[in-house]
Amino acid sequence: MNIDKKTIQEMAFWVRVRIPDDEAEVMAKDFTETLTWMGERLKSPELQNVPPMVSPFDEPILIRKDEVTDGDKREAVLKNAPEGATDEFFAVPKMVE
């Protein structure tokens, strides 16, 4: 598995952070090495027919009824809103002209 600088920068964009060219270069090289090393171990024939372990939790996942049990807390929800929010709304940069 070969990861180049461009792929690192794409992935950085997906998580909405920037990474300088020189750092992306180093990361690409290191990550390629790590993936190559891991790839060999994760291709172990031992893993065939082994189920993936998603969580240590062994009870049925709790599913509750789709009923409103909470809410009407506009003030609390907006309390930590960044600057620009009103009593009713969050504010973000304009998205349409």
Partner 1 sequence: MTDLTNLTLSETVKGLENKEFSSVEVTKAYLDKMEQLRRLNAYITETPDVALKMAADSDKRRAEGKAGSLEGVPMAIKDMFCTKGIRTTAASRILSNFVPEFEATTTQRLWNAGAVCLGKTNTDEFAMGSSTITSYFGVTHNPHDENRVPGGSSGGSAAAVAAHMCAGATGTETGGSIRHPASFCQITGFKPTYGRCSRYGVIAYASSLDEPGVLGRSVEDCARMIQPMMGFDEKDSTSSHREVPDMLAALDKNIKGMKLGIPKQYTELVPDNWEPALEFLKSEGVEFVDIDMPHTEEAGMVYYVISQGEATTNLARYDGARYGVREEGKTLDEMYMNTRMEGFGQEVRNRMILGTFFTSAKGYNDYFVPAQKMRTLIKQDFDKAFEKCDVLFSPAVPIKPFTIEEAKHGAAKGRFNDNYLMPSCLTGVPAGCANNGLQVIGRMWDDATVLKVLQVVEMSK
Residues contributing to the site for partner 1 (CB under 8 A): 1, 3, 8, 11-12, 14-19, 27, 31, 34-35, 38-39, 41-44, 46-47, 50-59, 61-64, 73, 76-77, 79-83, 90, 92-93, 95
Minimum CB–partner distance for residue 31 and partner 1 (Å): 6
Integer-rounded Cα Rg, in Å, for the chain is: 23
Minimum CB–partner distance for residue 30 and partner 1 (Å): 10
> In this structure, what DSSP letter does residue 88 have?
S
> In this structure, what DSSP letter does residue 46 have?
G
Is 79 exposed, middle or buried (CB count within 10 Å of its CB: 0-12, 13-18, 19+)?
A: exposed
Q: Which is nearer to partner 1, 22 or 73 (CB)?
A: 73
